[in-house]
Amino acid sequence: MAASSDSTFETVEHDVLVIGAGGAGLRAAIEAAGTGVRVGLITKSLLGKAHTVMAEGGMAAAMGNVDDRDSWRVHFADTMRGGQYLNNWRMAELHAKEAPDRVKELEAWGALFDRTPDGRILQRNFGGHRYPRLAHTGDRTGLEMIRTLQDHGVHQGIDVHMEVTVLTLLKDGDRIAGAFAYDRDRGHFKLFKAPAVVMATGGIGRAYKITSNSWEYTGDGQSLAYHAGAALQDMEFVQFHPTGMIWPPSVRGILVTEGVRGEGGILKNSEGKRFMFDNIPENYKSSTADNPEEGWKYTQGDKNSRRPPELLTRDHVARMINIEVKAGRGSPHGGAFLDIAWIKERLPNAEAHIKRKLPSMYHQFMQLANMDITKQPMEIGPTTHYVMGGVRVDGDTQMTTVPGLFACGEVAAGLHGANRLGGNSLSDLIVFGKRAGEFAAKFAKENPKVTIDPKQAAAAEAAAIAPFARAANADGPYQVQEALQDSMQANVGIVRLQDEMETALATIQGLKKKAANVAVLGNREYNPGWHTALDLPNLLTVSEAITRCAIERKESRGGHFRDDYPEKDPAFGSFNLLITKGTDGEMQLTRQPIPEMPAHLKEVVEENK
Amino acid sequence: MSTMTDSGTRKQTFSLWRGERGTGAFKDYEATVTDGMVVLDVVHQIQAEQANDLACRWNCKAGKCGSCSAEINGKPKLMCMTRLDQLPANEPVTVEPMRAFPHVKDLVTDVSWNFEVKKKILKFVPRAPDAPDGTWRIQQADSDRVQEYRKCIECFLCQDVCHVLRDHHMHDEFIGPRFLLYAAALEMHPLDTGDRVPALKKDFGIGLCNITKCCTEVCPEHIQITDNAIIPLKERVADEYFDPLGQLVQIFSRRKEK
């Protein structure tokens, strides 16, 4: 019935088309609209529901409101150290320098942050940040951010296309020309013509079984950009957040903010031992407390104390939990204990304090796990959270290797290198969202003429409706997705091995064939089975990229840990891994040397060692 | 740890609303459930195994995005935050779309009206910065005072249950509890200087709310919408329009001395 082809579809024209309406996409759209160009904003969900809303801890910006020793120099050095020096140093520099202004701008647009005693924006401690640096609103900073951007944006004349999914990017020769999409509501196709396109689609978490990400995080942006000719970079670096909920089973993967540890929460194994003191990496020894007393003082704002080992980088903490579980010292459901209730030994009003500092965590555990975090320790374990790799971009303009195609936020690579520091994501969104919007608008003004090739749209349309014509006994989309998630979780997860990853690659090749043959029931009106079928090629593309890069990197660094190569190898520290689409349609992997850091930045790294 | 136990599985019937654009009926599905599951888990299970084209909205699955609003056993709730052990185990669970909005398909409704309403409300207008570097000074207590209004996740369950919208369909005259709360958040923001009181009275229909508190009861964020947002706004409207002495005073002074 409605599965037949549309002979006509709506064409919408914008100067700048932004795909994705989380923090980065909204910020890009606001910036572009501010320059006077016509801006369209596409979101797969309703406005304001993007993953940014889940961010809890805060946004990193060296404002120095709590500790005036902080500066962009220290933030830059922290980001580079956390990223194991695979970062795009230009992006790390711009990020550290511009984040404070972007945060203040949010306040001017109505965001209301927690305050210092003298009324300035309060900043909290977070893993890998030397000084208290995260501007925050309790533990719902992401909600404050996205609502501020959303409410500011709706008055900027941006055309918002809600519940629309992009199927393919359109090209005019080498340059971008727009995107071809469908609306989820009616299943109608839409052609967006635009001389500049900004990708702000977020991450890839749904490639894994246990994830903090929602259904939306199917790697659309990475995959669409790759198929349009852009390069993907460092895809092996996936962040497994150390603290996801693990019990009851239905909540597995839901995030427990790092803010719990920032407020004094400690990690313990089944023997009650605080195991994070067991192994402190060499390059963090000088900045990490060597006893519980000092660690506690740090969380309470003592400037002369060093941070507790629970606040080491996420990759390290996740691996430490993994070691405890494998050694048989895990919690009953295969994780570790995260205890914030213990602070009642130190604070008179601990219960009220926890509820005030971590209200949504309190609420989340009460409601979903029926337990009171002010009284009992939480059971937690690693969960797929973020991808450091993504679309390769120019550090200043955020343009990809495809003229007119920009990328910002999680979908872009570079800022975080091999591992992202908590709090550097929200600041990434606003710093590079702004830049992407600014330069996309500039590009659109300078290169306004594009021609649409109707054949590209027709091919995408034919592929999209093909699943309706297939026999009902073909594979279902959910089963293919689940098989992929199981394989990626088991074989390309937190600890990796050559033969397991080769198994994953073979599984992906097999699932590609199945995905090309899935059948969809029903019609095109709001049909999640169909939507899932159309997400599969994206999930498979990013899974293959992750796996190929992970096989190539024969060392352990940041978010990428290999049991067969457990040490960091300096030889792997001088290049990024790039994935591009070869002329034969297969993935090409190349090693791209990292340009030498200029002297003024080397100096900054040295002075913060 | 928690009081929950690793108990076994059981079968339960779920009656889900199936249909498009206003037509439809409940359809029964048998699901295998365990304690600790939430209604959204069951909907996903049915979607993956029995009804691939079952339409529902969801995102975060942690009560933070407000996407999976529905009526469960007749009560407006988030599917992701409704645990099965809070519902009767030996009866079918009914799940249907929010009834105050136009139906799209199955559990999905057209909530776009809400996004249009928000655009009509005067945006945030900050006072001049307090410091030469363009920043403001706000006390924590002043920030805390308005955080309750800002917790809203825009699930629109309050709009769904409000009888002015649900039963009387006064969508053109009344903005509903969500946007009265939003107006309150702006009006009471420590930096805001905008005046939304005239619009609240004339265009947004605040007088139509007769304080039955249905909205407060269904709020998953436990925001005291009626007591802390709507009633104070009603008082502001009353002060401005029905208080002769106040009106005199106003002639000689600015209404807001922020």
Catalytic residue among A124, A184, A241, A392: A241
Residue A72 distance to chain B (closest CA, Å): 17
A356 is an active site residue: no
Amino acid B3: pLDDT: 34
The residue behind tokens 């003429």 is A449
Give yes or no on whether B10-109 and B112-252 have one common fold: no
Does A363 sit within 8 Å of B53, measured CB to CB?
Answer: no
In chain A (609 residues long), the average pLDDT of successive 10-residue segments reads 56 98 98 98 96 91 97 98 97 98 97 96 91 93 96 95 98 98 96 98 96 93 98 97 88 89 94 95 91 94 92 90 93 94 95 90 89 95 96 98 98 97 96 98 97 95 94 85 96 95 98 94 94 97 98 96 94 97 96 97 95
Amino acid A1: pLDDT: 37
Residue A512 lies in a domain: yes
Range of the domain at A149: 10-240+385-446
Name residue A165's beta-bridge partners. Answer: A182
If one compares B89 and A448, the residue with the highest pLDDT of the two is A448
Same domain, A328 and A366: yes
Q: What share of chain B has pLDDT > 90, as a percent?
A: 84
Residue A428 distance to chain B (closest CA, Å): 21
Report yes or no: A217 at the B interface, CB cutoff 8 Å: no
Q: Measure CB to CB from residue B55 to each of A120, A162, A528 and give the nearest one.
A: A528
Query: Whose CA is closest to A388, among A238, A504, A501, A491?
Result: A238
Same domain, A372 and A474: no
Same domain, A104 and A116: yes
Q: Measure CB to CB from residue A216 to each of B38, B59, B150 and give the nearest one.
A: B59
Query: Whose CA is closest to A311, among A351, A349, A260, A273?
Result: A260
Same domain, A228 and A375: no
Residue A587 lies in a domain: no
Is residue B5 scored above 70 in pLDDT?
no
Q: What is the DSSP string of A500-551?
A: HHHHHHHHHHHHHHHHTT----S-STT-HHHHHHHHHHHHHHHHHHHHHHHH
Amino acid A504: pLDDT: 98
Is residue B19 scored above 80 in pLDDT?
yes
Residue A581 lies in a domain: no
Q: How far is CA B185 from CA B44, B89, B123, B161, B182, in A?
A: 35, 40, 11, 21, 5
Q: Measure CB to CB from residue A53 to each of B53, B65, B124 and give the nearest one.
A: B65
| Range A465-472 contact pairs with CB under 8 angstroms and sequence separation of 24 or more | A465/A3, A465/A4, A465/A5, A465/A524, A467/A518, A467/A519, A467/A520, A467/A530, A467/A533, A468/A3, A468/A520, A468/A523, A468/A524, A468/A530, A469/A3, A470/A517, A470/A518, A470/A519, A470/A520, A471/A519, A472/A519, A472/A521
> Residue A112: its chain B contacts at CB < 8 A?
138, 143, 146-147, 150, 189-190
Q: Report the SS3 class of residue B152.
A: coil
Q: Indicate the residue among A420, A446, A472 that finishes a domain.
A: A446
Residue A22 lies in a domain: yes
CB of B119 closer than 8 Å to CB of A155? yes
Amino acid A258: pLDDT: 87
Look at chain A and report how many structural domains it folds into: 3
Interface test with B, best of A368, A371, A480 (most B CBs within 10 A): A368
Q: Is the ipTM of this complex over 0.85?
A: yes
The residue behind tokens 């365990």 is B34
A186 is an active site residue: no
To the nearest whole number, what is the mean pLDDT of chain B? 91
Q: How sure is the predictor about B258, in pLDDT bands with cuts at 50, 70 and 90?
A: very low
* Of A357-366, B27-36, B240-249, minimum mean pLDDT range: B240-249
In chain A, whose CA is at the least distance from the CA of B135? A104
- Residue B147: count other Cβ atoms within 10 Å of its Cβ: 17
Q: How sure is the predictor about B253, in pLDDT bands with cuts at 50, 70 and 90?
A: low
CATH number for the domain spanning A301: value is: 3.90.700.10
> Residue A377: its chain B contacts at CB < 8 A?
1
In chain B, whose CA is at the least distance from the CA of A338? B1
Is residue B4 scored above 80 in pLDDT?
no
Q: How sure is the predictor about B246, in pLDDT bands with cuts at 50, 70 and 90?
A: low
> Residue B61: its chain A contacts at CB < 8 A?
214, 251, 254
Amino acid B248: pLDDT: 66
> Residue B42: its chain A contacts at CB < 8 A?
none
> Residue B81: its chain A contacts at CB < 8 A?
367-368
Q: How sure is the predictor about B71, in pLDDT bands with cuts at 50, 70 and 90?
A: very high
Residue B124 distance to chain A (closest CA, Å): 6
Q: Measure CB to CB from residue A155 to each of B47, B123, B130 and give the nearest one.
A: B123
> Residue A479: its chain B contacts at CB < 8 A?
48
Q: Report the SS3 class of residue B53.
A: coil
Which secondary-structure segment (H or E) carries A43? strand A39-43
Q: Measure CB to CB from residue B64 to each of A143, A248, A479 and give the nearest one.
A: A143
Alpha-carbon distance of A269 to A272, in angstroms, equals 5
Residue A59 lies in a domain: yes
Q: CATH for B10-109?
A: 3.10.20.30
Alpha-carbon distance of A357 to A366, in angstroms, equals 16
- Residue B201: count other Cβ atoms within 10 Å of its Cβ: 19
Report yes or no: A529 at the B interface, CB cutoff 8 Å: yes
Query: Whose CA is closest to A114, among B137, B129, B143, B152?
Result: B143
Same domain, A467 and A553: yes
Which secondary-structure segment (H or E) carries A135? strand A134-135
Q: Please count the CA atoms within 13 angstroms of the CA of A287 that sit on its side-chain side.
A: 17
Alpha-carbon distance of A76 to A78, in angstroms, equals 5
Does A360 sit within 8 Å of B54, measured CB to CB?
Answer: no
Residue A120 distance to chain B (closest CA, Å): 5
Alpha-carbon distance of A475 to A20, in angstroms, equals 30
Query: Whose CA is closest to A384, among A490, A484, A238, A235?
Result: A238
Same domain, A203 and A109: yes
Is residue B249 scored above 80 in pLDDT?
no
Alpha-carbon distance of A143 to A137, in angstroms, equals 9
Amino acid B241: pLDDT: 83
Is residue B98 scored above 60 in pLDDT?
yes
State both tokens at A281: 């990496």
Does B47 sit within 8 Å of A247, measured CB to CB?
Answer: no
Domain residue spans in chain B?
10-109, 112-252
> Residue A331: its chain B contacts at CB < 8 A?
1
Residue B147 distance to chain A (closest CA, Å): 8
Report yes or no: A526 at the B interface, CB cutoff 8 Å: yes
In chain A, whose CA is at the least distance from the CA of B122? A155
Same domain, A507 and A426: no
Query: Whose CA is closest to A41, among A22, A68, A19, A57?
Result: A19
Q: How far apart are the first and last CA of chain A?
A: 66
Catalytic residue among A14, A95, A124, A261: A261
Alpha-carbon distance of A453 to A175, in angstroms, equals 12
Q: How sure is the predictor about B34, in pLDDT bands with cuts at 50, 70 and 90?
A: confident
In chain B, whose CA is at the least distance from the CA of A155? B119
Find out if CATH 3.30.70.990 is the number for domain B112-252: no
Pairing state between β A16-19 and A196-199: parallel
User: Using CB atoms and an 8 Å cut-off, which of residues 369-428 of chain A contact chain B?
Assistant: 369-371, 376-377, 379
Report yes or no: A474 at the B interface, CB cutoff 8 Å: no
Residue A373 lies in a domain: yes
Residue B80 distance to chain A (closest CA, Å): 9
> Residue B115: its chain A contacts at CB < 8 A?
46-47, 154, 160, 162
In chain A, whose CA is at the least distance from the CA of B117? A154
Alpha-carbon distance of A402 to A508, in angstroms, equals 27
The residue behind tokens 């407000």 is B66
Q: Measure CB to CB from residue B150 to each of A112, A162, A477 and give the nearest one.
A: A112
Residue A100 lies in a domain: yes
Is residue B2 scored above 60 in pLDDT?
no
Is residue B166 scored above 80 in pLDDT?
yes
CATH number for the domain spanning A410: value is: 3.50.50.60
Same domain, A410 and A364: no
Amino acid A385: pLDDT: 94
In chain A, whose CA is at the least distance from the CA of B144? A114
> Residue B82: its chain A contacts at CB < 8 A?
none
Q: Measure CB to CB from residue A376 to each of B1, B105, B129 and give the nearest one.
A: B1
